[in-house]
Amino acid sequence: MAIVKNLLRVAFVVPLLLSISACGDDEPAPQAPAPTTAAVSPSAAPSSAAPPPADPAVRAAETVARLSDEDLAGQVLMPYAYGSAATTVDKAAAAGNQQLAKVNTPAEMIAKFRLGGLILVGFKPEDPTGATNPTSNVENPKQVRALTTGLQEAAAKLPAAAPLMIGTDQEYGVVTRITEGVTMLPSALAFGAAGQPALTEAAWHAAGRELAAMGITADFAPVADTLGPKGSSVIGSRSFGADANANAAQVAAAVRGLQAAGVTATLKHFPGHGHTTADSHDELPLIAQSRKDWEAQDLPPFRSGIDAGAGVVMSGHLNLQAVDKGVAATFSHKVMTDLLRGQLKFTGVAVSDAMNMAPARKWPAGEAAVRALNAGNDMLLMPPDIGAARDGILAALKSGGLKRERLVEAVTRILTLKFRTARTAQPDLATIGSEENQRAVAALDAASITVLRGKCAGPLASGPVTVTAPASREVARVALVRALQEAGVNVQAAGGAAIHLVGYGDKQADLDDAAAITVMMDNPALLALSRSPTLIATYSSSKLSLTALAAVIAGKAKAPGKSPVAAGKLPRSACVK
């Protein structure tokens, strides 16, 4: 009887898999080869078993057919964990894991719940997403690679014998989990300002190589949200800009770059967080446009990202009033199935935004998990109670509140994607911060620098300069001082023409009206309030962005960027029409 059941399961999932193309079947040439763990190699199957099929979809079908309900329920869960290593953690981390999952270590969490994924998180108070990230388990590339290797070894021992999907929010800009030792891309607005998709693709390919070297298999980026006139404060510089069609080209380029490096790209936050004014971490934001306006103003970047082969789409806890009034998209069948699957023809993995955010905590963890799966999500991110989420799924299977076919469909998509991604060889850690990656990102940074008011040629400041900034910008201030000195500019500790830096979260009170030059390292909207004769936007405080800025100030480079968002009545560029 068990054999008959398994054959029936295969008969169900194989036709489904023939239509799944989450990332496309064409794989890039392998990067510099490095030894990989058993968890990220087809050889992870037990030695006594026949070699796994080469086709990821066929392998997924065969795997799903032999999994128990408990295995299936675990595969759709993607929590976070405490601790910077898989099997050894300190007392504080163990206490956090006990509270979250009644285990001590991340590896034990994977084993207990038979997890399909884990998200690496990092708490920073200035991060707009920080409230849902109560811990940090990323420090530097070497530590992250050791952690992900240990996590994959734990996953390889599960009945599914499948790679773990290891994700993180490496958007760059204000939402960046791993900062030490990596090549830092600027915020998405900088890509919009440069307006050159080829540079975008190259920079994100560099980022993808570095993420892959650390063992990250899925990046929760790029942000496909388009900023409305009021500019969603929670999205801000995380968006490529205010022009949906221009954003569409940028999103597609970012997807191609990441996935060519073997890292799955994620479009977020579907159906669009840019025309909202509320923060979905705290409440349910309203998308108030008509259906026609939403399709014109928010949809194009998601469509282009899907067409480019994005493997994952993240649902937003957002009220798309024109489609399903009052229901968060994460829990809306009309949005996650009718729109995403039906209208946009997305066949990859749909992952929920964090289930520990306020709109998702409207219900107990188990009920919320079932509602999200029934709406069309395949993977549930950061459930607030892992055991309750898993038990809710199992109870719903028994009661009929969740059809097993729906769960099988979700896990089939997840496994297909994971088996496909695992075919790319893991790069060596030496690729992180390499000259090649630095050049790719530096070219984008140079193309993004924007003068919104002031001269367009020659040195932008005469005589010695002094770099000033609010106390919170000291790292950026020092970096610019060094970059200016290397560019041949005379920098004094005091008394020179002031170059004043402001950044994310700064207000009018942080401006210096006496400054000769004011530089905004985030959304340039604040520049509309500055009285400085020269206004420049870098959209980023990274070392490479500030190096590009120094070249412009020194008169050694032009400022070819054009702001992708409005800054009051200022022109998008004083130098580019």
pLDDT at 37: 33
The residue from 205, 273, 281, 500 that is catalytic is 281
For residue 470, CA distances in Å to 50, 113, 316, 481 come to 63, 46, 34, 15
pLDDT at 147: 98
pTM of the model: 0.90
The residue from 324, 353, 378, 385 that is catalytic is 353
Instruction: Specify the domain boundaries for CATH 3.40.50 within the chain.
Output: 450-553
Contact 307, 256 (CB under 8 A): no
Mean pLDDT in consecutive groups of 10 residues from the start of the chain, 577 residues: 39 42 38 33 41 86 97 98 96 95 97 98 76 85 98 97 97 95 98 98 98 98 94 88 98 98 98 86 88 97 98 97 97 98 98 94 96 98 96 98 98 97 93 98 98 96 96 97 98 97 96 97 97 98 98 98 97 96
pLDDT at 277: 79
Q: Residue 279 catalytic? A: no
Q: Residue 353 catalytic? A: yes
pLDDT at 459: 96
pLDDT at 51: 67
Fold topology of 450-553: Rossmann fold (3.40.50)
Contact 537, 520 (CB under 8 A): yes
For residue 182, CA distances in Å to 85, 137, 228, 336, 545 come to 19, 16, 32, 35, 14
pLDDT at 253: 98
Architecture of the structural domain at 2-29+48-431: Alpha-Beta Barrel (3.20)
pLDDT digits (tens, 9 = 90+) for 18-73: 444 334 443 333 333 333 333 333 333 334 456 677 799 999 999 999 999 999 99
Please report which helix (H) or strand (E) contains residue 215, including its range.
none
Instruction: Specify the domain boundaries for CATH 3.20.20.300 within the chain.
Output: 2-29+48-431
pLDDT at 281: 79
pLDDT digits (tens, 9 = 90+) for 65-99: 999 999 999 999 999 999 999 999 999 999 999 99
**CB-based burial label for 91 (10 Å; 0-12, 13-18, 19+):** exposed
Give me the DSSP letters along 94-141: HHHHHHHHS-SSHHHHHHHHT-SEEEE----TT-TTGGG--------H
Give the span between the Cα atoms of 325 and 548, in whole angstroms.
46
pLDDT at 480: 98
